[in-house]
Amino acid sequence: MLDELTEAMIPTDDHSPGARAAGVAAYIAGALDESNDAGLKRRWKAGLKRLSKTGLHGQENHPFFKELKERTVFAYYTSKIGIHREMEYKGNVMRKDW
């Protein structure tokens, strides 16, 4: 379900692969698995349950939706796909002129 939600937020398009290809759901799940915060895990379980019933539409102001979106964006834009394909970052390059 997490994979479906993150892909809905950052879908594959003509410019770059989406969240699924970038492994966003696996990144988020790994971060949650490594957390010692039982409250965080409960919030995510409840939040995912809520979204499984309602979907994303109309949830934009819910605190869980905001956290899901923040983690999705962070995971995507720190992945190789997000940085290099979407943002077209070429790395540090020496400029010959200023």
Cα→Cα distances 20→64, 93, 97, Å: 20, 30, 39
pLDDT of residue 86: 85
> Is residue 14, in this structure, part of any structural domain at all?
yes
Decide if 51 contacts 5 (C-beta within 8 A): yes
pTM of the model: 0.85
Total structural domains within the chain: 1
| Predicted local distance difference test score (pLDDT) of residue 37 | 95
Report which residue type is found at 37.
Answer: D
- Which portions of the chain are predicted below pLDDT 70? none
Residue 30: per-residue pLDDT: 97
Does residue 92 sit within a domain? no
Tens of pLDDT, residues 74-90: 999 999 999 988 888 88
- Residue 95 is predicted with a pLDDT of 76
Q: How high is the pLDDT of residue 12? A: 94
pLDDT of res. 27: 97
Q: What is the pLDDT of residue 16?
A: 86
pLDDT, residue 47, reads 94
Q: Which residue has the tokens 């979106």?
A: 69
Q: Which of 33, 80, 91, 43 is nearest to 65 (CA)?
A: 43
Residue 94 lies in a domain: no
Residue 46: give the domain boundaries: 2-86
Q: Is 24 part of a structural domain of the chain? A: yes
How far is residue 33 CA from its own chain's centroid? 16
Phi, psi of 89 (to 5 degrees): -70, 130
